[in-house]
Amino acid sequence: MSRREQRTITPHHVLRADSVGLFPMAESAEDKELFWVDPEQRAIFPLDDFSVSHSLAKTIRRDRFEVTVDQDFDAVIAHCAAPAKDRENTWINEEIRRLYRELFDMGFVHTIECRRAGRLVGGLYGVALRGAFFGESMFHLETDASKVALAHLVARLRAGGFSLLDTQFMTTHLASLGAIEISRAVYHQALEQALTVIADFYVWPPDQRVTGAQTLAALRDEANFSGF
């Protein structure tokens, strides 16, 4: 279900929309308008059953990438909006960039960045609202970079007491990382419960280096490590 949005949207509109299960999109990066979406089927990552393969666990443990938090929003969203091999265009237009930049400045949007030899090679961004994290987009320029960013995010959310990681629409890539689909009704129930939770995205301070070993330890209690 969607509705073309003609009025000027503010960051507070986005937060209100997130709280009731809606999110804004554009038809393309060049489109100047936004519309609200509330999918019949919603993709989420179960925080208590996040699957990490043996090979990915090795990559995380060896700290192949330098992982940081909230260091370069503009670069992350620019990469997420750029064409890639699996997509010629994205829904991230200039209005999305403006809104989420303002939400970043307000402390609601967060990024996870993966660098190698100082170069940004992967990452993601999303909105944290009480016990819910609304994943917006991710990218990778090197193998496993987005997977490592996601694992660090899930570990942080689990440690911080979050209960919901929303990832909007299901894709083949997200399914390969362990995302599942739930109905709109079930999602709204999970969202309502998550908004009663007081969670802490900065359970690990943003200037604190979180190692791969710490990330795996945070995931180990309930996560599923294939061959780990």
The answer to the question of residue 34 being in a domain is no
The answer to the question of residue 17 being in a domain is no
Q: Of all residues in the chain, what percent carry a pLDDT higher than 70?
A: 91
User: What is the mean predicted confidence (pLDDT) over 49-66?
Assistant: 93
With cut-offs at 50, 70 and 90, classify the pLDDT of residue 50.
Answer: confident
In this prediction, residue 182 carries a pLDDT of 97
CB 144 within 8 A of CB 165: no
* Residue 46: CATH number of its domain: 3.40.630.70
Tell me the C-alpha distance between 90 and 30, whole Å: 9
What is the domain count for the chain? 1
User: What is the mean predicted confidence (pLDDT) over 102-121?
Assistant: 98
Q: CA angle, corner 104, sides to 79 and 169, nearest 5?
A: 55
Residue 204: helix, strand or coil by DSSP? Answer: coil
The answer to the question of residue 26 being in a domain is no
In this prediction, residue 89 carries a pLDDT of 67
> Considering the entire predicted model, what is its pTM?
0.91
The answer to the question of residue 11 being in a domain is no
With cut-offs at 50, 70 and 90, classify the pLDDT of residue 90.
Answer: confident
